[in-house]
Structure 1
């Protein structure tokens, strides 16, 4: 058993962050072998945080459907529910990462405006 959503998320974040760790990429790809389709594939290939959020949400929907269809007495049922908790936690972490990035962007805009207020640029006419 493996947590396809988490491994795909790792690959997507490596894409977004420009991570070149071949070992980590190969490990994740090995874990996902035979499962790279639908939202998992899209998540693994995501190149933006917005794409990651969108594809992670779709992967969560599929996981929830898998849990709903599973027999509660099945040995795998508890693992599936644990996977759901882990993926929802990862979803919140990605949301925090996006929020922090937006805060940094807003702060840079404010710093830029402050510099122009402190050191006005004369219009070139």
Structure 2
């Protein structure tokens, strides 16, 4: 078992942030395998942070369902629960990134307005 959600999110973030190198992408793709589930593939191919968030939500719901359906006595149950904790943590990190990005945009807007107040444009 591997944590497909985390690797797919890493790929989606590399796409949306324009970061990462080919070795990191190949490693993440190798972890996902040749035919990942559709929601995992959508997360891996996400082009924006909003897409990452939307697809991660879907992956999280499916993981929660898998945990709920698993036998608590089965050896993989604890691993599934651990995956759930890790993916929820990743969701929180992505939420912080989105919030920070919105703050940067707001700050740029305020700086723009301040510049126009200091140096009015004659029309």
Band the TM-score falls in, shorter-chain normalisation = over 0.9
Question: Once the two structures are superposed, what CA deviation does each residue of 1:41-84 show, in whole Å capped at 9, x if it has no partner?
Answer: 11000001110000000000110111111110010000000000
Output the TM-score relative to the length of structure 1.
0.95
| Residues 11-44 of structure 1, C-alpha deviations (whole Å, 9 max, x = no match) | 0000011124000000000000045222101100
Q: CA RMSD in A?
A: 0.9
Alignment match, 1:12: 12
Structure 1, 30-39 or 69-78: larger mean CA deviation: 30-39
Partner of 2:72: 72
Unpaired runs of 5+ residues, structure 2, are none
Report which stretch shifted further, 18-27 or 101-110. Answer: 18-27
Any residues of structure 2 matched to 1:1-125 within 5 Å, and which?
Answer: 1-123=1-123
Could you tell me which runs of 5 or more consecutive residues in structure 1 were left unpaired when the two chains were aligned.
none
Inter-partner Cα distance in structure 2 for 1:16 and 1:34: 22
CA contact (8 A) 1:12 1:52 kept: yes
Deviations 1:77-121 (A, max 9, x none): 000000000000000000000000000000000000000000001
Alignment: residue pair count: 123
Write the distance in 2 (CA, Å) between the matches of 1:8 and 1:35.
12
* C-alpha distance 42-17 of structure 1, shift in aligned 2 (>3 A): same
